[in-house]
């Protein structure tokens, strides 16, 4: 099995996260798995965004707006139609990535990401197929406020994936086991995974697996939790393990030595430049 490199929210060294430019750049680098985040708008569109709201500094002015007045912070995407969401500029460079370019970009629809990446790869005759690892942003205490209830949420995401014709190239993951379970009930052809936060114990991970109702294809923990014991237990159960967010070359190499099947990283270009990962 080839060690897998997932571009976390796209190629963030080059372009702002979760933009079409970042995803297409990752494809050009040679990445063949994109990790991206999903939320829902008021009119039930699946929007690619890490947070379920718009707030400064990454989304502080609508596109083409002439006024210098500040936009109110923390506008909840679930309370906005997508046309309103798309009016906000999300292409400002992040100072955490010094070489990141400022671009004109809004939060794209999932369907637009699929179309843009597939078209970019086809036009450049790139080899291989892209896999899309979709994180559904969901919290039990925020049902009805930041997103629909799990059953409806899962229906909307699966509907979008089916419409794309990319079921075989899509994975679903979340910290919220409820929505992952609902996706699995609706579409067994999708590869499902659960995300594990850095504060979770091994006992909690195993309890989640026991209570999920099916074996997920992946269990993706924070990289600080990874050791040979965790890797062995997950592999014995039949689940792969791709930790997040692994950004330093020495950490990347450590994840492979400890038994990870790949990494989710903000710097896929650094990972791709490490031949030891692919020996």
- Please compute the mean of the pLDDT values over residues 117-129 and round it to a whole number: 98
- Please compute the mean of the pLDDT values over residues 155-181 and round it to a whole number: 98
- Reported as a pLDDT band with limits 50, 70 and 90, residue 74 is confident
Residue 73: is its pLDDT beyond 80?
no
- Please compute the mean of the pLDDT values over residues 52-59 and round it to a whole number: 75
**Rounded Cα–Cα distance for residues 68 and 113 (Å):** 30
Tokens 């030891």: give the residue.
276
Element (H, E) at 115: helix 110-123
The parent domain of residue 196 ranges over: 4-278
Tokens of 57: 């500094």
DSSP structural state of residue 41 = -
Q: For the chain, what is the domain count?
A: 1
Residue 66: is its pLDDT beyond 90?
no
Torsion of Cα atoms, 117 then 122 then 123 then 124, to 10°? 90
Taking only the tens place, the pLDDT of each residue in 200-210 is 999 999 999 99
Q: Are strands 218-221 and 170-174 parallel, antiparallel or unpaired?
A: unpaired
DSSP structural state of residue 69 = P
**What pTM does this model have?**
0.95
Neighbours of 93 (CB within 10 A): 15
Tokens of 97: 């990535």
SS3 at position 229: helix
At residue 38, φ and ψ (nearest 5 deg) are -120, 140
- Please compute the mean of the pLDDT values over residues 34-41 and round it to a whole number: 98
Neighbours of 73 (CB within 10 A): 12
- Reported as a pLDDT band with limits 50, 70 and 90, residue 57 is low
Q: Do residues 273 and 5 lie in contact, with contact meaning Cβ atoms separated by under 8 Å?
A: no
Q: What is the CATH number of the domain that holds 240?
A: 3.20.20.190
pLDDT at 244: 98
- Please compute the mean of the pLDDT values over residues 113-119 and round it to a whole number: 98
């Amino acid at each position: 099995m080839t060690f897998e490199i997932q571009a976390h929210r796209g190629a963030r060294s080059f372009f702002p996260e979760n933009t079409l430019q970042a995803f297409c750049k990752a494809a050009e680098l040679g990445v063949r798995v994109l990790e991206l985040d999903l939320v829902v708008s008021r009119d039930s569109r699946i929007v690619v965004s890490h947070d379920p709201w718009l707030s400064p500094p990454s989304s502080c002015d609508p596109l083409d707006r002439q006024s210098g007045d500040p936009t109110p912070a923390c506008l909840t995407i679930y309370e906005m139609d997508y046309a309103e969401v798309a009016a906000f500029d999300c292409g400002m460079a992040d100072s955490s990535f010094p070489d990141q370019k400022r671009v004109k970009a809004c939060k794209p629809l999932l369907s637009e990401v699929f179309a843009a990446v597939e078209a970019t790869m086809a036009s450049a005759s790139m080899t291989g197929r892209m896999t899309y690892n979709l994180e559904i942003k969901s919290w039990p205490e925020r049902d009805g406020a930041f997103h629909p209830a799990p059953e409806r949420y899962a229906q909307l995401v699966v509907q979008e994936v089916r419409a794309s014709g990319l079921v075989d190239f899509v994975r679903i993951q979340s910290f919220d086991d409820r929505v992952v379970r609902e996706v699995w009930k609706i579409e067994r052809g999708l590869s499902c995974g659960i995300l594990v936060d850095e504060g979770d114990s091994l006992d909690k991970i195993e309890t989640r697996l026991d209570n999920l109702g099916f074996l997920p294809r992946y269990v993706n923990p924070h990289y600080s939790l990874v050791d040979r014991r965790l890797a062995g237990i997950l592999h014995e159960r039949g689940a792969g393990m791709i930790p997040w967010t692994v950004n330093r070359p020495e950490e990347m190499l450590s994840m492979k030595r400890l038994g990870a099947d790949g990494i989710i990283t903000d710097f896929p270009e650094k990972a791709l430049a490490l031949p030891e990962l692919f020996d």
